[in-house]
């Protein structure tokens, strides 16, 4: 029986009397309320002491076709709005872009930016770029204790990224334009040099052709003169021989052979044919033969005896002045004779005008609207901190009260056993 009584007593000790528990907590209600109030006050003080953080944000979208029109009309670099947007996002995430942003806003920062490296990294860590899945837009945000500064950083970052990406794109286009213009300029210079060389080759060909013709004509004239000289000498020899015969016969004057027909009444007079080749030359008489021989010996030139010599001399004289050579040598500008040179120069001038063009209207990021300073901080959330402190303080107060009740019950139990 004793053992059964002890076990029953132990069973009752292990039981939790809900009413006794509530009674104990109520007895220590001031303790619980004190702890809860202290925790709530501590939470409120904490919420008031924590520096607020403001997050400024805005959205950027791919540029319109009009934003890329200045580049598209050049037909040098084909770039779509999606590709241009990707370039802008790369600059938003690049260290170079963020460092340029940091340099631009550091003077307007409400904080002392003493350690440049540390502050730049801090600035970069609080920048958040969140593109959507379809790459239709991206959210740019920055968190800082100053609302105005947060908005300034977001706007400056977007502007800097836009400038850097646009500058890179424009530089690529200008490099392509410069390369194309240089190649075209080289081609024009080559065409001009080729035309000048062709002109000089033509002059050389004409001069050599005329020189050859002149030599041939001179040879022909010399041959004809040699022939005529030989004919003159042959003639002198013939006449000299006829003179010797005439003198032997005592024929001084041209002779006539008269035959009278006695008793017929007919008479025939025959005069020596001076010019006839068939008649003997000595019948001309010594006087005429001497005169002709003297004239032949005194002749200084035989050119007049052959018309071909004068014709050849005329042709030779024509070769002394080649008008085509004179015109080619007098030409100062050969470009008018180059096929397509005008089109090439027009294209070159157009490329040079493109290089001078203002591309300030090009955009790779389209800003919906500039970021503005937020009215409310994203942290700390004071109401949440106070509420959490209230709950935590209440739970702590109940726990302390339970522990104190358990300790009091144990002391009473130990005192009863004694």
User: Is 358 within a domain?
Assistant: no
CATH code of the domain containing 342: 1.10.287.210
H/E element, 61: strand 54-61
Residue 370 is given by DSSP the state -
In eight-state DSSP terms, residue 62 is P
The answer to whether residue 182 scores a pLDDT higher than 90 is yes
Other beta carbons within 10 angstroms of residue 160's beta carbon come to 23
Give the whole-angstrom CA distance, residue 121 versus residue 317. Answer: 93
pLDDT band at 226 (very low <50, low <70, confident <90, very high): very high
Does residue 342 fall inside a structural domain?
Answer: yes
CB 140 within 8 A of CB 59: yes
Q: How many CA atoms lie within 13 A of 213 on its CB side?
A: 17
Q: Which two tokens stand for residue 185?
A: 């300029």
Closest residue by Cα to residue 334 from 197, 159, 158, 175: 197
Higher pLDDT, 109 or 139: 139
Is the distance from CB of 229 to CB of 302 less than 8 angstroms?
Answer: yes
- What pLDDT shows up at residue 288? 92
Q: How many domains does the chain fold into?
A: 1
Examine residue 293 and state whether it is found in any structural domain, yes or no: yes
The DSSP letter of residue 315 is H
Q: In the block, which residue shows the tokens 């008793």?
A: 263
Range of the domain at 272: 214-347
Of the candidates 368, 359, 416, the residue with the CA atom closest to the CA atom of residue 70: 359
18 pLDDT band, cuts 50/70/90, is confident
Rounded-to-integer distance, Cα 357 and Cα 198, Å: 38
- Asked which of 56-65, 102-111, 151-160, 240-249 is least confident by mean pLDDT, the reply is 102-111
- What's the pLDDT tens digit per position in 322-357? 888 888 888 888 888 788 888 888 888 888 888 888
Eight-class DSSP state of 283: G
Average pLDDT, the chain: 79
CB 58 within 8 A of CB 371: yes
Phi, psi of 54 (to 5 degrees): -110, 140
Q: Is residue 70 part of a domain?
A: no
Once rounded to an integer, what is the mean pLDDT over residues 112-127? Answer: 64
Under 8 Å between Cβ of 111 and 100: no
Asked if the structure places residue 324 within a domain, the reply is: yes
* DSSP one-letter code for 108: G
251 located within any domain: yes
Report how far apart the first and last C-alpha atoms of the chain are (Å, whole number).
22
Residue 262 covered by a domain: yes
Residue 17 has pLDDT above 50, yes or no: yes
User: How remote is the C-alpha of 256 from its chain's centroid?
Assistant: 106
Within a domain: 183: no
On whether the CB atoms of residues 371 and 105 are closer than 8 A, the answer is no
What does the pLDDT average to over 37-57? 71
């Amino acid at each position: 029986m004793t053992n059964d009584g002890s076990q029953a007593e132990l069973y009752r000790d292990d039981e939790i009397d809900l009413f006794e528990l509530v009674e104990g907590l109520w007895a220590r209600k001031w303790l619980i309320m004190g702890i809860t109030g202290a925790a709530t006050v501590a939470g409120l003080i904490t919420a008031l002491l924590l520096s607020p953080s403001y997050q400024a944000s805005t959205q950027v979208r791919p540029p319109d076709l009009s934003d890329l029109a200045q580049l598209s009309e050049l037909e040098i670099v084909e770039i779509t709005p999606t590709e241009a947007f990707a370039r802008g996002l790369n600059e938003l995430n690049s260290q170079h872009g963020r460092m340029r942003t940091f340099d631009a806003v550091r003077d307007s920062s409400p904080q002392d930016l003493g350690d440049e490296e540390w502050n730049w990294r801090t600035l970069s860590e609080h920048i958040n770029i969140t593109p959507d899945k379809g790459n239709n837009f991206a959210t740019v945000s920055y968190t800082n204790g100053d609302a105005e500064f947060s908005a300034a950083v977001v706007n400056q970052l977007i502007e800097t990224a836009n400038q850097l990406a646009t500058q890179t794109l424009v530089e690529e286009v200008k490099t392509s334009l410069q390369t194309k213009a240089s190649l075209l300029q080289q081609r024009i210079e080559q065409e001009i040099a080729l035309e000048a060389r062709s002109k000089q080759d033509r002059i050389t060909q004409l001069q050599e052709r005329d020189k050859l013709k002149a030599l041939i004509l001179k040879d022909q004239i010399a041959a004809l003169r040699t022939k005529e000289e030989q004919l003159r000498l042959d003639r002198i020899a013939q006449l000299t021989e006829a003179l010797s015969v005439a003198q032997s016969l005592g024929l001084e004057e041209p002779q006539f052979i008269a035959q009278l027909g006695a008793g017929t009444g007919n008479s025939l007079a025959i005069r020596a044919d001076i010019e006839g080749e068939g008649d003997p030359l000595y019948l001309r008489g010594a006087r005429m033969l001497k005169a002709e021989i003297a004239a032949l010996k005194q002749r200084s030139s035989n050119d007049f005896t052959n018309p071909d010599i004068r014709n050849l001399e005329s042709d030779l004289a024509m070769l002394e002045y080649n008008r085509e050579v004179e015109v080619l040598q007098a030409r100062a500008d050969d470009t008018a004779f180059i096929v397509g040179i005008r089109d090439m120069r027009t294209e070159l001038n157009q490329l040079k005008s493109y290089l001078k063009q203002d591309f300030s209207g090009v955009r790779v990021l389209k800003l919906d609207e500039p970021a503005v300073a937020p009215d409310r901080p994203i942290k700390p959330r004071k109401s949440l901190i106070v509420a959490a402190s209230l709950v935590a303080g209440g739970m702590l107060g109940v726990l302390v009260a339970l522990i104190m009740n358990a300790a009091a019950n144990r002391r009473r139990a130990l005192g009863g056993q004694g």
